[in-house]
């Protein structure tokens, strides 16, 4: 019973690593999309965010399953550590790998966040400049329309 549960825990960690690899791929895509803040494909950016959201949901499900299974075998495993030493060692290695990938993903997410903030700042500035240009053009148009209605002026020709 415990051995099969440990195998299931190991499979869960392997699946988690696979999902984390896919998240890392999406992070790389997102970095490529955001690399040039002047030419960002917003649809591609939205797609990467959506895919990463789905992958994070999968990770949460795997975490919940892992934790509930681990809680069931934890006490029995504590009593018979030596009997399952090899499997526990493999689990520990997988957990270290998950933690390393988690740190890597977190760092990559932080870099992507900075790229996204830069893109949003650039876009906001561009919109603000367009708004100012439109206001200047509208004011010029209104001013020029007022000059059409100037009545004729009488000029005195006397010396």
Helices (H), the chain: 2-34, 42-79, 85-147
pLDDT value at position 103? 96
Single out the residue of 37, 24, 21, 14 nearest to residue 122, CA to CA.
37
Single out the residue of 23, 11, 13 nearest to residue 94, CA to CA.
13
Single out the residue of 123, 102, 103 nearest to residue 45, CA to CA.
123
Tell me the chain's radius of gyration from C-alpha atoms: 31
pLDDT value at position 92? 93
pLDDT value at position 149? 60
- DSSP three-state, residue 5: helix
pTM of the model: 0.75
Residues of the chain with pLDDT under 50: none
Instruction: Give per-residue pLDDT as tens, 54-96.
Output: 999 999 999 999 999 999 888 888 888 888 889 989 999 999 9
pLDDT value at position 119? 86
pLDDT value at position 76? 83
Domain range list for the chain: 2-129
pLDDT value at position 158? 67
> Distance (Å, rounded) from C-alpha 47 to C-alpha 40?
13
pLDDT value at position 89? 92
The length of the chain in residues reads 159
pLDDT value at position 159? 56
pLDDT value at position 94? 96
pLDDT value at position 8? 93
């Amino acid at each position: 019973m415990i051995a099969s549960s440990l195998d299931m825990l190991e499979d869960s960690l392997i699946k988690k690593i696979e999902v984390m690899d896919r998240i890392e791929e999406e992070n790389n895509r997102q970095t490529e999309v955001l690399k040039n803040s002047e030419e960002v494909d917003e649809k591609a950016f939205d797609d990467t965010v959506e895919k990463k959201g789905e992958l994070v949901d999968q990770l949460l499900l795997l975490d919940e399953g892992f934790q509930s299974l681990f809680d069931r075998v934890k006490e029995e495993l504590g009593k018979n550590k030596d009997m399952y030493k090899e499997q526990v060692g493999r689990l520990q290695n997988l957990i270290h790998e998950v933690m390393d990938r988690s740190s890597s993903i977190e760092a990559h997410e932080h870099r992507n966040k900075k790229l996204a903030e830069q893109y949003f700042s650039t876009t906001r500035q561009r919109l603000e400049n367009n708004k100012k240009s439109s206001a200047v053009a509208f004011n010029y148009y209104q001013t020029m329309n007022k000059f059409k209605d100037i009545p004729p002026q009488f000029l005195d020709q006397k010396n």
